[in-house]
Each structure stands twice: as C-alpha cells, then as structure tokens.
Amino acid sequence: MYVAINLTAYGQSDIGLVRQRNEDAFVVADLTGGGVLQEPRMVRFEIGERGALLAVSDGLGGHRGGEVASALVVESLCRTMSEQAGRESSEHVVQNATARANREVWEAAHRPGLERMGATLTALYIHENAAYIAEVGDSRAYVLRGGDITQVTRDQSYTQLLVDEGAINEQEVENSPLQNMLLQAMGLEPSVKVALERLELRQRDCLILCSDGLSKKLEAHELRDVVLSSPRLDAACDTLIRIANERGGEDNITVVAAGVSGDLPPPSAGERVRDTIRVLRAYNPLEPQH
C-alpha cells in the first residue's frame, strides 16, 4: 500500500583537520523521481512508490583506494536499488544491493594500486511506512524520536565484541589499541554478512547517519541536543562537524540528517524506538561466511 511520506534531508562531509584526503562518501536518493544528492544541499521531496535511500560509507583509513571504495559503495548501492526497487520485497532489495556493492568493490580491489581497499556502509531504505537499516562496519545510524535518541546500529568492531563479551567496558574503548579494527568491511571478501533491521517510522522521526569521525567525538545525547536546538537540519550538521573538528578532527567527518512527515502515526505513549524495530538479520562474527 502506498503511503505518502515527505522527506527533508541534508548531508555534509568534511575532510577534518589531519587527513590529506576525504575517504568518506554519502548519498540521499529519490528512487522514484531519480534525484541524487551527494553534496551539501537541503532537499525536500515526497517519497514515491520506489522509496528513498540514505547512505554513508567510510573508506578504510590507511588502505590505498579508500576514497575509491566508499564512492563505489554508494554509487553501486544507489544504482542497484534504483533498478530493483518495487520489483522485490524491501528486505531483498536492500540485501541484494549491499551484496552487489560488496562484490563490485571486491572485484575493483584486484586492480593495481587498489589492493585491499574497503569501506563501511550504513544505509537506510525508506519504503512505505518503514526504514530498512543495513550495516557493514562501524558507521552508525541513530533515530531521534520525541526528544529521545537511540543508536539503531551496532559497531562491527573488535572493541564492541570485547565489550559484548565483558572483556572491557565502554570507558576502556577509547584507549584500546583495537578501537579502529573492524570485524568486516565492504570489499575485503567476495561476500559479506549484512546486519539488517526494519524500523516502523513515526511522525517527525529524525534519522541520523554518520561516519566514525563524528561518532567518536560526540556522545549520542550531544547529537540529540544539537539537532533539537538547531533551526534546520543543515545548521545541525554544520554544528556537529564543527564540534568534531574542535575536538581534534583526526578523521574525515560525514553526517546525513533526515526528517519524515506525512501519513505516519505519532509515537504511542511510552513507546520506545526499540519497540518499533524488528531484527531481520543479526550480525554474528562467528557465523560461517556464505
């Protein structure tokens, strides 16, 4: 059933203060109307029957071709989803597009000078009254609803694994020598394990995607406070990037923020974001690769 949803979105990427090049990439795509945003500009459109895509990709630092990998990830994802949206279930559209993007990066990484390149991916596919959230790596997605913010992705990193196993606590992550080591990334292997969730959207939800250049510099409550105190999404993104740079700016910094409105129900009394999320495919690093 077609649901009329309006999307207001803004994306911005910054090189930071230390890196010589920007290896992050992002996209906001209207898969029905064909509009694609990959530069700092506010967009507003009604999400059509084929849906909309938001994505952030972070090229692996220290690897040759990181900027090539992240650009290829978002380009491939957008291209494949434009082809398949409306032809298959939303879950399969996201899953297939992510798998193809991974394969394209893996194949490209066999070219001279691009060996072992890779990238993270966090993508939101908005279709009808839901957002399908796909993750590979440690770029993050948050949902701001009714004044509360919830991280809806889980870092696929060695430090997160150690936290989950009780070997270290959250406070020890920042000083761990393993904090930049990922359990997987796009393009490092011919196939990839995609974490996938389905989020039921609510009126005035704000969706935030970012690379770790931002998430390692600001806590979730700080993201919330900046967005809630900003007059527009572009001002919020400007402020978030400025703060990350003021706190060191050692990495590239990318953020996409989007608000939804239209034919969506308001949040129920006492309803939490977690109450409206269904895990479609959990990431298990011990699961055999297919």
Domain-located, residue 156: no
Those residues whose C-beta lies under 8 Å from the C-beta of residue 63, and which sit 6 or more positions away, are 69, 116, 117, 118
pLDDT at 255: 98
CATH code for the domain in which residue 71 is found: 3.60.40.10
Q: What is the mean pLDDT of residues 65-73?
A: 95
Domain-located, residue 45: yes
pLDDT at 290: 58
pLDDT at 279: 97
Q: What is the mean pLDDT of residues 30-39?
A: 91
Domain-located, residue 268: yes
Those residues whose C-beta lies under 8 Å from the C-beta of residue 79, and which sit 6 or more positions away, are none
Q: Residue 168: is its pLDDT beyond 80?
A: no
Q: Which residue has the higher pLDDT, 67 or 178?
A: 67
Domain-located, residue 157: no
pLDDT at 158: 86
CA-nearest of 60, 275, 39 to 157 is: 60
Q: Residue 161: is its pLDDT beyond 70?
A: yes
Domain-located, residue 290: no
If one counts the domains in the chain, the total is 1
Q: Residue 105: is its pLDDT beyond 90?
A: yes
Q: What is the mean pLDDT of residues 24-40?
A: 93
**2 band by pLDDT with thresholds 50, 70 and 90:** low
Over the stretch 108-151, which tens digit does the pLDDT of each residue have?
A: 998 888 888 999 999 999 999 999 999 999 999 999 999 999 99
Domain-located, residue 155: no
pLDDT at 180: 76
Q: What is the mean pLDDT of residues 203-230?
A: 97
Q: What percent of the chain has pLDDT over 90?
A: 79
Q: Which domain holds residue 247?
A: 5-149+185-281
Domain-located, residue 98: yes
Q: Residue 172: is its pLDDT beyond 90?
A: no
User: Would you say the pTM of this structure is higher than 0.85?
Assistant: yes
212: tokens are 């770790």
**63 band by pLDDT with thresholds 50, 70 and 90:** low
Over the stretch 177-211, which tens digit does the pLDDT of each residue have?
A: 777 789 999 999 999 999 999 999 999 999 999 99
Domain-located, residue 75: yes
Q: What is the mean pLDDT of residues 211-238?
A: 97
